[in-house]
Structure 1
Amino acid sequence: MNNQEKTVKLAVNGGIGFGAKLNAKQLLSLAKYIKEDSEIELTTFQQLYIDVLESQVEKVKEEFEKVGLAVYPVGAYVKSLRTCNFCKGAEEEGMPVAIELNRRIAGKEVPWPLRPSYTGCPNACGEPLINDIGVIKRREHYDLYIGGKAKGKDAKTGTLLIEQLTPEQLYEVVEKIITIYAEQGKKREPFFKFINRYGFENIKNSIA
């Protein structure tokens, strides 16, 4: 009989800030839970995947959060917000809005991993147009794109859903879209396929 304790995979990053960075305290905290023969997976979504013992999950989360690490579930959930490097400062690039949007949506259960992305200016360094949900800040307002796909022969940029949103309107609309997908999407149905089946116009009408 195998009594080896199960492990749980956690997605970890340094939170929403000036680029994907980790400080010394965060690295030391991570190192405590990484075996010498283990590997850490760095995803394209600015997350590190690590395996921890099931019995230690809550302890690990608490310790990580104390040093500023954000912890998210792995699997069919909304990923943490991918961002640009916020090259012109927190207020100008809308970092507070990115942080709040991430707080509201990251970790929500959906039919298939959903990748939201945010960029603080029209340069779109955060690649919002090739992710499931993309936000571009234009001056004091926000344009919202959906349905981008980065890989495969059917790769495409997202379609503009609504523009010139205030921060509160942005939060509300993105949360509505995720709710529609969570309730109407089929199991293991990627978001771009859901849009094709459910209908772009139906989504647009549902958030009006």
Structure 2
Amino acid sequence: MSALTVSQEEVKRLKGIGFLNNKGTDDFSARIVTVNGKVSASQHRLMADAAEKFGNGMLAYTTRLSVEVQGIPYEKVEEFQKFIAQEGLTTGGTGAKVRPIVSCKGTTCQYGLLDSYALSEKIFHRFYEGYRDVELPHKFKIAVGGCPNNCVKPNLNDVGIIGQRIPVVDAEKCKGCKKCAMEAACPNGFAKVVDGKIHIDTENCRHCGRCVGKCPFHTTDESIYGYKIYIGGRWGKKVSRGRALDIIFTSEDETLDMIEKILLFYKENGKKGERFAETIERIRFENVERQLLPSC
């Protein structure tokens, strides 16, 4: 292992464009940004070629769904950038900025309640790309989950979106069956027959939509799709579980606009070096929510 001869200033500059120093060497890992973890077959082939041509032949996948090519010599950094640009690939995903967007497979998953690929791609273009020149107090992570199964842990990100399906109950159609199909379908036990009528515990309902359409008497054929937004989550040395805003958004445009409002709030109110969870803790969630949702 050769000693590091690249200056610390240059190491810092390269980190800012997505090249992380391999400790104790003049080699770097290039962090290739993907759109919520998706790449085309031709892009994947090019990344494999780049790993063999410039690095150690390995591709490593990060928790933010970026791809790292390891072991790139310092003098090959610019050549590497030009090589991957052939397929429209870039490096990045570092710094006190919006980080690459993480998404689950809700678009194709049987439990998906929203088009997580399409939504996360819109978030990627509007906020990862659109805010690349905007310095924030700290890094800012956004995740999109297709349903309350929470596979990509949206509530452990600075902003998390979880797909919702809210059942609309027509109690008059309920026959009070002893073996209620809706009750059997609810994975959390929040749908129960009480005094001969189906009752959903709306306070605790996860809005997974599993009960919708299960009643043979059409008690809950109708439902409302929506987006639940969590703010202030993080993991690492310090863990904070995000809290949901008191509104379930039913419009994609409203959801995107709220993400922007949250980002601007953090930019204006966060202190340098302070994660959004700490900003919320300092100002108090209720006060943050009141500014984000004036009707609260």
TM normalised by structure 1 equals: 0.77
The higher radius of gyration belongs to 2
CA distance in 1, matches of 2:127, 2:243: 20
- Residue 77 in 1 paired to residue 97 in 2? yes
CA distance in 2, matches of 1:94, 1:70: 25
Structure 1 residue 33, shift from structure 2 partner: 4.0
Q: 1:202 to 1:41 in 2, by over 3 A?
A: farther
Structure 2 gap segments, 5+ residues each: 20-29, 166-224
Calculate the aligned-residue CA RMSD, in Å: 3.1
- Residue 103 in 1 paired to residue 120 in 2? no
| Aligned residue type for 2:77 | L
Answer yes or no: is the 8 Å Cα contact 2:34–2:100 preserved in 1: no
Which residue of structure 2 aligns with residue 155 of structure 1?
239
Structure 1 residue 49, shift from structure 2 partner: 3.7
CA distance in 2, matches of 1:92, 1:82: 17
Count of residues in correspondence between the two structures: 198
Once the two structures are superposed, what CA deviation does each residue of 1:39-81 show, in whole Å capped at 9, x if it has no partner?
Answer: 6553211112456635774x4574232xxx4654421111122
TM normalised by structure 2 equals: 0.57
22-31 vs 5-14, greater mean Cα deviation = 5-14
Structure 1 residue 200, shift from structure 2 partner: 1.9
- Residue 46 in 1 paired to residue 65 in 2? yes
Structure 1 gap segments, 5+ residues each: none
Which residue of structure 1 aligns with residue 269 of structure 2?
184
- Residue 93 in 1 paired to residue 114 in 2? yes
- Residue 128 in 1 paired to residue 147 in 2? no
Q: Secondary structure at the residue paired with 2:64? A: coil
| Aligned residue type for 2:115 | G
Structure 1 residue 146, shift from structure 2 partner: 0.9
134-143 vs 107-116, greater mean Cα deviation = 107-116
Q: 1:21 to 1:103 in 2, by over 3 A?
A: closer
- Residue 207 in 1 paired to residue 292 in 2? yes
- Residue 196 in 1 paired to residue 281 in 2? yes
Answer yes or no: is the 8 Å Cα contact 2:113–2:163 preserved in 1: no
